Amino acid sequence: MARLVDLEYSAVEIMVHESGGHLKPSEVEADLDRAIQICRETHRLTPVGYSVDIEAPEDRYYAQFAACCRLAKATKAITLTVRASELGTPFNAEVERLREMVALAAVDGAVVGLLTESGRITQDPATVKVLCDNVKGLGVTLDPSHFVYGPYGGANYDQIMPYVIHVRLRDSTKDQVQVRVGQGDVEYGRLVSQLERRKYNRALTVDLAPAPEVDQPAEMRKIRLLLESLL
C-alpha cells in the first residue's frame, strides 16, 4: 500500500482470495471485525472494490461471500469482483450461483462484477452478455487483455459494455497475457472512449503481476501516466 502511494495511486482493489490474496474469505467469515480493521489501514488509499475468490464447499461458500459483502459495506466499497466458473460448467448451474451471489450482495448495497477471463465461461463476450441478461443486477468486471490474448483474441466486446462496473488493465498480445506497457495490443484510447460513451464513472485499476527482469514500479508508473493522459 505504501508503495502504491509513492507511485501516486489514489485507490486500491483489495484481493480477498483463499490463495494468494491480501486476505482469505475464510478469515473474513471467522473474524469480520479484524478484517474490517485490516482493510481500513490502506495508507490513505480509497478501497474501490474487492476481488473475491472462494474455494470453500457449497455449505460454506455463500456464508463466506456474505461476510465479504458485509466487509465491503463497512469499508464503503460496493464492487465485488468474482470469477466465472470453469469451461464445461452447466449454464443453468452458473446462472443459479450468480443469482444467489447478486441477491446476497444486494442486502449490503453491493454489486457483483463477473470477471472476463480466458479458460472460463466468460472468455466469450456473447456468453457474458447472455449471463448478464439472465441474472438481473449482474455486472461485468472487464479485463480486455482476455479479448486480446487467448482463444477469443480479437473478439469484439462492444455488446457487454453496458454492463461494465469495474475495469482491470495491463498490456497484452495475442500470445502473452502481460507484456511491458506500450508493447502490447490493448487499445486504451478506444476503451476509454467506449467507457465515456456509457458514462462510466467508476475505477480504472491496474493489474500487473511481477515478472522476471521487469521493473514493476516503473511499469506501474508508466501505465498510470498513460491512463491519466487519456482522461
pLDDT of residue 61: 97
Q: Where are the domains of the chain?
A: 2-168
Over residues 26-83, the pLDDT tens digits come to 999 999 999 999 999 998 899 999 999 999 998 899 999 999 999 999 999 999 999 9
Calculate the average pLDDT of the chain: 96
pLDDT score recorded for residue 80: 98
- Is residue 119 a contact partner of residue 100, using CB atoms and an 8 Å limit? no
CB 127 within 8 A of CB 121: yes
Architecture of domain 2-168: Alpha-Beta Barrel (3.20)
AA identity, residue 24: K
In this predicted model, what pLDDT tens digit does every residue of 177-226 receive, in sequence order? 999 999 999 999 999 999 999 999 999 999 999 999 999 999 999 999 99
pLDDT digits (tens, 9 = 90+) for 121-155: 999 999 999 999 999 999 999 999 999 998 999 99
Task: Please tell me whether the overall predicted TM-score, pTM, comes out greater than 0.85 for this model.
Answer: yes
Q: What is the pLDDT of residue 59?
A: 86
Find out whether 162 and 195 touch, Cβ atoms under 8 Å: no
